[in-house]
Amino acid sequence: MSTILSSVIFLSIWISALFVIYKNAGKLKKAINQGQGSFDYTNGSERGKQMLKVAFGQSKMGARPIAAVLHLIVYVGFFIVNIELIEILIDGLFGTHRILYRVLGSFYSGFTATLEIFAALVLLAVILFWLRRNVLRIRRFRLSEMKGWPKLDADFILYFEIILMLLFFGMNTSDMVLQSRGVAHYTEAGFFPVSAIFAPLFESMATSTLIVFERSFWWLHIIGILCFLNYLYYSKHLHIILAFPNTFFAKLGAVGNMNNMQSVTNEVKAFMDPSAAQSADENTIPSFGAKDVTDLSVLQLLNAFSCTECGRCTSVCPAHLTGKKLSPRKIMMDTRDRATQIIQDTINESNEEKHLLDGYISREELWACTTCNACVEACPILIDPVSIILDMRRYLIMEESSGPADLNSMMSNMENNGAPWPFSPQDRMNWTKD
């Protein structure tokens, strides 16, 4: 293949991949923007610190040390190993070979050795992750919401990463052998401590065959990376990207604080001080709470798409641990699925009659929540399932007057008696008379 033709094909593949990434990013943006309101940019410096601490610093991963170390290896390795994309992009466009050697000089050997060591660590960590899921069969990975596609997706990503790392080593090993033979174009550069282990597998090959192997590994590796980036939109691993904005825009301060609904606030102010009543459009009827994803906030939908389905939230949920139907992870997965379905219905010009409430999330799940916020505390990227549960409860109570019998009785007593008990204020102290 001529250098010019190779460069044209390489550029075409990159343009096609980036176009698909752009289209998927547009669909993701539309899905999140179905929510109400806008993102909060106030206290930017504090939010930046929160993002650096939680997303970059992995500060909330320490509760499970083994998983934390493995995740840190994959997380750091992902960024370091993919620095090679800079070199691959330049080499692919201009037909050069290991162009960074001309820039780094004697430091290039340290650079390639670092990439190799991290790639080996990533490969080991991913294999251990696979064993945890499929051999040790940790309980939080085997719950009902993880059947079908979620299970396949989790395994598929691990296989994907294993293949990418093996292609990386295959590319380096064959390249290293070609360098040692002094083959034209293959500039002798770099130090490959891990690939050297596999060199005997390639040394007996003819040079022409070895060049085919090296080029195949090189092309498959870069195509695999581009496919991986495009697959993220359909995968739980979208958190690789969304963890950063999610932690930036996450609630500051106490996680248990509930937001006040402005329409209710206005009503209370008008009741307390009629002169403070705000004029409103008589034809506009305020809605309360959330029945569907379009009633949630943009932050809540960002939370849903940022969820990595790790199950830490569900594993600490007291309602789930006592056999209730609630799983905070499922709440986030259902919210994401519903938001995605609406976008897909728009594209297909169809309309799914199901809503988030009842169609995806049952009332039994909502009322099982104790609002303890254990799930929020456990989440490594500050996702807040409780806020969605509370907004859907608000809808049930304020729009449908629907709730558990005990709760309805309490609220009725509050309205009529000024207290949760079924006694009038006059009768409340009768017990003292005897």
Give the domain ranges of the chain: 3-32+64-249, 289-417
Confirm if 250 and 382 have CB atoms less than 8 A apart: yes
Q: Is the dihedral of CA 245, 249, 251, 252 positive or negative?
A: positive
The predicted pLDDT at position 402 comes to: 85
The predicted pLDDT at position 277 comes to: 61
The predicted pLDDT at position 333 comes to: 96
Q: Is the dihedral of CA 253, 258, 259, 265 positive or negative?
A: negative
Specify the pTM: 0.88
**Maximum separation of any 2 CA atoms in the chain, in Å:** 107
The predicted pLDDT at position 64 comes to: 82
pLDDT beneath 70, residues of the chain: 1-2, 276-285, 352
Confirm if 373 and 334 have CB atoms less than 8 A apart: no
Structure tokens at 168: 């990386």
Confirm if 356 and 290 have CB atoms less than 8 A apart: yes
Give the integer Cα–Cα distance in Å for 140 and 343.
30
CATH of segment(s) 289-417? 1.10.1060
The predicted pLDDT at position 179 comes to: 92
Confirm if 189 and 179 have CB atoms less than 8 A apart: yes
Q: Tell me which DSSP letter residue 419 carries.
A: S
Cα 137 to its chain centre, rounded Å, is: 22
The predicted pLDDT at position 117 comes to: 94
Give the integer Cα–Cα distance in Å for 370 and 243.
26
